């Protein structure tokens, strides 16, 4: 059973677009006229079902990978057996900053300290209360 597994794409929509290009270049271009039209109907049905399932999950804009299991008939007929969509999540694992100069690091710390002091004053915390924490 042939399998077409696509690379991870930035969105589910782009995964479907990539699959569409693959389908038309593989099963439409160069196929006999009667096979072309039947293949196109099958593709439109498959793509419609994929879009429906993606929309149910509000995943159209999420990264994804698509895999299509299919068979090919003797005249080049497209016979999809299953399609698997892997919806991905992009999130940072860790965030850190590297300062290239001590002056830049001091400036950043000073700005953070000013923000903390401002927030403490808004909350009614005195600097003496903050000093007693250390």
CA gap 114, 107 in Å, rounded = 11
Looking at residue 21, its pLDDT comes to 97
Q: Which residues contact 75 (CB under 8 A, 6 or more apart)?
A: 31, 32, 35
CA gap 5, 81 in Å, rounded = 14
Looking at residue 13, its pLDDT comes to 96
Q: Could you report the average pLDDT of every consecutive run of 10 residues in the chain (134 residues)? A: 95 97 94 93 97 96 97 95 95 86 88 88 80 69
Looking at residue 134, its pLDDT comes to 62
Looking at residue 99, its pLDDT comes to 79
Strands (E), 6-46: none
Helices (H), 58-101: none
Q: How many CB atoms lie within 10 A of CB 16?
A: 20
- Distances from the Cα of 42 to the Cαs of 27, 35, 39, 54, 96, in angstroms? 11, 11, 5, 18, 49
Full-model pTM:
0.69
């Amino acid at each position: 059973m042939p399998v077409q597994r696509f690379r991870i794409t930035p969105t589910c929509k782009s995964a479907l677009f990539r699959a569409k290009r693959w389908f038309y270049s593989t099963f439409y271009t160069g196929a006999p006229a009667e096979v072309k039209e039947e293949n196109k109907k099958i593709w439109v049905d498959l793509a419609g079902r994929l879009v429906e399932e993606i929309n149910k999950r509000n995943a159209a804009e999420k990264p994804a990978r698509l895999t299509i299991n299919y068979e090919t008939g003797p005249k080049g007929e497209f016979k999809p057996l299953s399609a698997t969509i892997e919806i991905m999540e992009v999130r940072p694992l860790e965030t850190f900053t590297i300062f290239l100069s001590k002056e830049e690091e001091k400036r950043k710390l000073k700005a953070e300290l000013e923000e903390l002091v401002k927030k403490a004053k808004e909350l009614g915390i005195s600097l003496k209360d903050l000093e007693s924490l250390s």
